[in-house]
Amino acid sequence: MNFNRIIDQLKQTRPVFHSEDDLKLAMAIVIKELYPSYEIRLEKPIQIRMKIKDDYVLARAPIDIVVLDSKHKIAYPIEIKYKTKKVDVVVGDESYSLANHGANDVGRYSFRKDIYRVENVDIENFSINQGFVFILTNDRGYYQNDVSKKNSLDVHFSFHHGMTLKAEYVGWNYKRLPENKYYYNDTFPLDNSLKKHWTAGKEYVYKLDLKSDYYIEWNNYSVLIVNDSKDVHFKYCLIEVNR
């Protein structure tokens, strides 16, 4: 499946989206137009083996878009991210009021997690040779900000333009945080004054070793004219996962 062809067609009619769900639906429509014999599933619930420390757990992981080639019994899993900074803009006759998502540290971790999921997902009765992770954003913090050179919590999750995302998982940079304030594991601390850090719970504890390195390249998607002095630039990064 040629995902660059899908992006090129999407650009022609939808330079911006109201939300991530809006993007998913628009992309699914384009895929169906380009590949009419394929079936599309949105938010297909699947369990994936996720690693925590040295053990694996089955985690419920809905895949954003699953494309099914029933004739050849091939599936294409696709994970989508739409990260925006606040802006109000009119395109054609339609007004868009984009939210300010922020939390770039979570966004960077989640991007790596999406790649891990596409690498490891299985679709019953279908083989998977190829999958995709696609992120679209007007937040230059993702594509310009090289946090790998900073002493930040997400220093190991940077995916700025031109870098290579390494397969080996290093994890959160706990050296960045004060030792007398948080604890980061499942063992309750002797010091009751310590608080469990948010990265030590929920979906942020997975050990996301990848099967390959990935070169990160950001490309232009659209430019929106907000007023005479300010334009909004959307860029995208596409990761093709070959299995």
Question: Could you say which residues of the chain have pLDDT below 50?
Answer: none
Q: What is the pLDDT of residue 12?
A: 93
Give the whole-angstrom CA distance, residue 229 versus residue 239.
33
Q: Which two tokens stand for residue 19?
A: 């939300």
Half-sphere exposure of 23 (CA within 13 A, CB side): 22
Which residue's structure tokens are 């310009």?
Answer: 144
Residue carrying the six token digits 């940079």:
173
- Do 79 and 63 touch, CB atoms closer than 8 A? yes
pLDDT at 169: 96
The pTM of this model reads 0.93
Residues, the chain:
243
The pLDDT of residue 80 is 98
Helix axes 3-13, 20-34, angle to 10 degrees: 120
The Cβ-side half-sphere exposure at 130, using a 13 Å CA radius, reads 10
Give the pLDDT of residue 187: 56
Task: Please state, in angstroms and rounded to a whole number, the distance separating the CA atoms of residues 181 and 74.
Answer: 49
Range of the domain at 202: 3-242
For residue 67, which of 88, 37, 45 has the smallest C-alpha distance?
A: 37
| Predicted local distance difference test score (pLDDT) of residue 71 | 96
pLDDT of residue 223: 94
Contacting residues for 169 by C-beta, under 8 A, at least 6 apart: 112, 156, 207, 208, 209, 210
How many domains in the chain?
1
Provide the pLDDT for residue 228.
64
